[in-house]
Amino acid sequence: MRATVLHAPHDIRLDDVAAPQLHDDGDAIVRVVAACVCGSDLWPYRGINEISEPMRIGHEFVGVVEQVGAGVSSLNEGDFVIAPFMYSDNTCKLCERGIHTSCVSGGFWGVDDRQGRPVDGGQGELVRVPLADGTLVSTAQPDEAMVPHLLTLSDVFPTGHHAAMLAGVQPGSTVAVVGDGAVGLSAVLAAKRLGAGRIVAMSRHDDRQQLAREFGADEIVATRGKEGAAEVREMLDGIGADHVLECVGTEQSMAQAMQCARPGGRIGFVGVPHGVEVDVRGMFYRNLGIAGGVAPARAYIEELLPDVLSGAVSPGRVFDQTLPLDRVADGYRAMDERTAIKSLLTL
Amino acid sequence: MRATVLHAPHDIRLDDVAAPQLHDDGDAIVRVVAACVCGSDLWPYRGINEISEPMRIGHEFVGVVEQVGAGVSSLNEGDFVIAPFMYSDNTCKLCERGIHTSCVSGGFWGVDDRQGRPVDGGQGELVRVPLADGTLVSTAQPDEAMVPHLLTLSDVFPTGHHAAMLAGVQPGSTVAVVGDGAVGLSAVLAAKRLGAGRIVAMSRHDDRQQLAREFGADEIVATRGKEGAAEVREMLDGIGADHVLECVGTEQSMAQAMQCARPGGRIGFVGVPHGVEVDVRGMFYRNLGIAGGVAPARAYIEELLPDVLSGAVSPGRVFDQTLPLDRVADGYRAMDERTAIKSLLTL
């Protein structure tokens, strides 16, 4: 089968690789229908995360169950399924508490499992899914137009939703969103869905500002840094946002997020932190809270799915580029050069 | 009148000072009935916070209204009142959101107000209270045995409660408390009052362990640091606490608190941070959240007061030393040397 392999920084290829096999009774093999490129895939692509050997990549996909192990009880061949961006058993003490990304048996796509057996990346034709009953969420076969929206449930929409949950967005509350990538835009949509009273999106790009408005932003602030944060505070009762959703992961973006928050405000951060430090004493005097993490997409899919299927939300609009899988390298390049917000790969 | 003045590190005296006067229509003068020494008073006492000139001190007191300005509408001479540890208008946008410690008009006891006029410290005979309608909470004249419990509503009990609120303690959830000072013990009591299912108190001192148990701790861990945190995790489902209440404020105590938390856990911190740094990336991979701050005691007094008056909680048990005001220096010494948990001063 064909699967995406990152060989070296900026050297990404669709290679012929061994087709996956069932290893455990709980495994399933899924034929991928659509996958996509994540902002976090760009860290190794850019060489910021070291690549010691060619690596399989991709962690967002939807597809059709092709084969199931003898122990799989909730899935059948032919089921259309959504794969969250990590696999998990959905039964352990941490999954029970909704932290599926810390599942005691779980793991990442594209990395060997705990028994040292290969698990495929999501940007390929077939994927072995460990813990299939716990991991996959099935839904009726969608029409083609619905596929991108369902695909966002793998990662980007639940990640935006996680930012809003971490920050505690409430009906009527005020929200500022730092970051206008696909996650930041999804965070705007998630905050709106949760009933936020006023949403300020921080963005300098016309196309992203436009989508932020369509997703529910009431105001756009194009200025960055301290000055941008001052504009946000001025817009929000002169005191700042009740909740700030930090969707970038840099020192600057976190500082900006803190400056946007009102005293007593809460910051949810979902961008993988790179070199971020926080002023704990400054937090103390302003009664701030920060909470961040790898979004437990699996915990949220069942809650978000009905609103996606009904069309109440259209999170798939973050995809502004669609390519066949054999042009995966173009998808990475476009996201690296920020000419695309997010690239969808069809199979 | 007589009031406590800190002249230099470890040089604290009861001096004769000018009696306060009404400066604003909204002022009241309160005759102090009981005051106390706070762990945070020890920072300047020990010289860790610099003392450039003799300073008035004390921020926890209850007393009787002696005089009110023409604009005071909710208080009368003779009312028994509880003073939260900062004054505030109780009407601004930040007070409305329950962050009275960030009140746009508020301030600290013992420091000149925004107009440069003196505000007395709480460890003295009389105190000018700015914004008296917003600041003071009156209650029926208590009997003598109730006074210590009411006095804790100035600071220490609401501060413990704040730690629990910041960490989001829920009925049935698991809680670890780092710090066995008066605030840590109050946090145990607050977590119990909020319905925590299991509470682990970390303490190495017999008397404090005993009070922690009486306040609601189910388990005591006497070991500190990584090893102590490992014991806590083992006790709590092998994964750690849903909520950790950090009541010290040092680098070590914060690290210990983080290590006690389960993935997805929340840490509330109410000890003034001194040199605390947090591992933001580590937080991200474990989905942790931290929130801290100066407790808005004023926001909580009305909620906590009925349970204090009914005897449902007895927070005044943190006072294990009672002295007349003229022995205030002995109270500081006892708390500095940790021979007292908390010293109450009677007038």
Beta carbons of A127 and A63 less than 8 angstroms apart: yes
Q: What pLDDT score does A342 carry?
A: 97
State which amino acid sits at residue A53.
E
C-alpha atoms less than 13 angstroms from C-alpha of B278 in its C-beta half-sphere: 31
Question: Which residue, among B105, B242, B280, B294, would best test binding to A if mutated, counting the most A CBs under 10 Å from its CB?
Answer: B280
Whether the predicted pLDDT of A166 surpasses 90: yes
pLDDT score recorded for residue B219: 98
CA distance linking residue B83 with residue B123, whole number of Å: 12
Same domain, B226 and B205: yes
Predicted confidence at residue A50, as pLDDT, reads 81
Exposure letters A138-159 (e unless 16+ CB within 10 A, then b): ebeebeeebbbbbbbbbbbbbb
Q: What is the mean pLDDT of residues A227-256?
A: 97
Mean pLDDT of chain A: 97
Q: Name which of A102, A273, A290 is nearest B263 (Cβ-Cβ).
A: A102
Q: Which helix (H) or strand (E) holds A242?
A: strand A241-246
Taking CA–CA distances from B284, the nearest residue in chain A reads A293
Inter-chain touch A254–B280, beta carbons under 8 Å: yes
pLDDT at B51 over 90: no
Domain boundary among B292, B313, B334: B292
Are residues A131 and A217 located together in one domain of the fold? no
Chain A: residue nearest B268 by CA?
A289
**What pLDDT is attached to residue B135?**
98
In this complex, which of A238, A285, A289 lies closest to B290 when CB atoms are compared?
A289
Confidence of residue A51 (pLDDT cuts 50, 70, 90): confident
Q: Are strands B241-246 and B174-178 parallel, antiparallel or unpaired?
A: parallel
- The count of other CB atoms within 10 Å of the CB of residue A116 is 6
Q: Within this chain, do residues B264 and B124 fall inside the same structural domain, yes or no?
A: no
Same structural domain for residues A7 and A124? yes
**d(Cα B234, Cα B217) in Å, to the nearest integer?**
16
Q: Which of B103, B173, B287, B288 to mutate to test the interface with A (most CBs of A within 10 A)?
A: B287
B271 lies in the same domain as B229: yes
Residue pLDDT, tens place only, B99-130: 999 999 999 999 999 999 999 999 999 999 99
* Tokens at B302, concatenated: 């009305």
A279 and A170 in a common domain: yes
Which residue, among B57, B123, B130, B117, has the nearest Cα to B88 in the 3D structure? Answer: B130
Average pLDDT over residues A84-101: 98
The answer on A161 and A145 residing in a single domain is: no
pLDDT for B2-43, tens place per residue?
999 999 999 999 999 999 999 999 999 999 999 999 999 999
Confidence of residue B345 (pLDDT cuts 50, 70, 90): very high
Cβ-Cβ pairs closer than 8 A, A with B, add up to 122
pLDDT at A15 over 90: yes
Q: How confident is the model at residue A48 (pLDDT cuts 50, 70, 90)?
A: confident
Is residue B214 located within the same domain as residue B277? Answer: yes
In terms of domains, do A101 and A141 share one?
yes
Q: Total structural domains in chain A?
A: 2
Percent of chain B's residues with pLDDT above 90: 97
Cα–Cα distances (Å) from B310 to A153, A221, B139, in that order, read 51, 51, 13
Domain identity same for B219 and B318: no
pLDDT on residue B52: 85
Q: Which of B273, B197, B95, B286 is nearest to A166 (CA)?
A: B286
Tally Cβ neighbours within 10 Å of residue B45.
23
Can you give the pLDDT at residue B110?
96
Q: At what angle do helices B156-167 and B297-310 cross, to 10 degrees?
A: 110
For strands A174-178 and A198-202, give the pairing. Answer: parallel
Q: Do B285 and A294 touch (CB under 8 A)?
A: yes
What pLDDT is recorded for position A52? 85
pLDDT at B48 over 90: no
Q: pLDDT tens-digit profile of B183-235?
A: 999 999 999 999 999 999 999 999 999 999 999 999 999 999 999 999 999 99
- Domain range for residue A8? 2-155+296-346
What is residue A139's predicted lDDT score, i.e. its pLDDT?
A: 98
Same domain flag for A118 and A50: yes
B166: chain A residues, CB-CB within 8 Å: 289
Beta strands A61-68 and A55-56, pairing class:
unpaired
Residues A285 and A332 in one domain: no
Return the CATH number at A146: 3.90.180.10
A173 chain-B contacts, CB cut-off 8 A: none
Give A296-333 pLDDT, tens digit per residue: 999 999 999 999 999 999 999 999 999 999 999 999 99
Q: What is the CATH number of the domain that holds A258?
A: 3.40.50.720
- d(CA B92, nearest CA chain A) in Å: 11
